[in-house]
């Protein structure tokens, strides 16, 4: 079979780049430990969620994390959120962490861009500012069973202490 010279060059470029990319993939998988799962996500065993200090009594706590005023911990389970209600001072920078003890839930705060999937085994984290006073409804947007629509919680953003009570 006669193969044209340029055809040969073109074929070897194709084969060469395929090998190059496979080598890069192989090195990053074995050497750097990359996996298809996103890196940098904290894991937690769904059966031992309650053994974790943060989730034994979920709620609002002062944050030790740089750049945050508060940590807000939630435990999602069929079919409720804990805490069912929480007050957050206006203007605070909050790191939210949500875990589930059973199935996948969809943690969504209505009228905000807070929306994260909560998967068994993972700690879902989201940093946000609560600048506007008001009541924010937390819902579940991932079908999780018969009580799915009852899965709600309320975040009350209240004026900072010393401010007038009116908005
Ligand atoms: Cu939890 Cu739907």
Q: pLDDT (tens digit, 0 to 9) for every residue of the chain, 167 residues total?
A: 788 999 999 999 999 999 999 998 888 777 766 665 556 688 999 999 999 999 999 999 999 999 999 999 999 999 999 999 999 999 999 999 999 999 999 999 999 999 999 999 999 999 999 999 999 999 999 999 999 999 999 999 999 875 555 54
Task: Give one DSSP letter per residue of 95-155, joined into a string.
Answer: EEEEEESSS-EEEEETTSS-EEEE-TTB-EEEEEEE-S-EEEEEEE-S--STTGGG--EEE
Query: Quick one: pLDDT at residue 103?
Result: 96
Nearest protein Cα to ligand 1, atom 1: 105
Ligand 1 nearest atom to the CA of residue 79, by list position: 1
**Ligand 1 proximity of 143 Cβ (cutoff 6 Å):** yes
**Ligand 1 proximity of 157 Cβ (cutoff 6 Å):** no
**Ligand 1 proximity of 69 Cβ (cutoff 6 Å):** no
CA of 11 to the centre of ligand 1 (A): 53
Ligand 1 nearest atom to the CA of residue 104, by list position: 1
Collapsed DSSP state (helix, strand, coil) of residue 14: helix
What token pair was written down for 72?
Answer: 């807000």
**Ligand 1 proximity of 80 Cβ (cutoff 6 Å):** no
Ligand 1 nearest atom to the CA of residue 142, by list position: 2
Which 8-state DSSP code applies to residue 33?
-
Query: Quick one: pLDDT at residue 145?
Result: 95
Query: Quick one: pLDDT at residue 30?
Result: 76
CA of 65 to the centre of ligand 1 (A): 29
**Ligand 1 proximity of 144 Cβ (cutoff 6 Å):** yes
Query: How many Å apart are CA 80 and CA 100, to the nearest integer?
Result: 10
Query: Quick one: pLDDT at residue 107?
Result: 97
CA of 133 to the centre of ligand 1 (A): 26
């Amino acid at each position: 079979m006669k193969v044209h010279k340029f055809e040969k060059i073109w074929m070897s470029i194709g084969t060469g780049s395929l090998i190059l990319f496979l080598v890069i993939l192989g090195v990053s998988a074995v050497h750097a430990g990359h996996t298809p799962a996103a890196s940098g996500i904290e894991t937690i065993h769904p059966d031992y969620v309650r053994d974790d200090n943060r989730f034994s009594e979920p709620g609002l706590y002062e944050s030790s994390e740089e750049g945050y005023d508060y940590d807000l911990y939630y435990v999602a389970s069929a079919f409720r959120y804990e805490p069912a209600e929480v007050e957050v001072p206006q203007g605070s920078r909050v790191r939210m962490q949500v875990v589930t003890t059973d199935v996948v839930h969809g943690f969504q705060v209505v009228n905000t861009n807070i929306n994260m999937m909560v998967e068994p085994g993972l700690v879902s984290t989201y940093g946000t500012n609560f600048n506007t006073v008001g009541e924010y409804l937390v819902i579940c947007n991932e079908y999780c069973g018969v009580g799915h629509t009852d899965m709600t919680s309320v975040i009350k953003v209240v004026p900072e202490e010393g401010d007038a009570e009116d908005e």
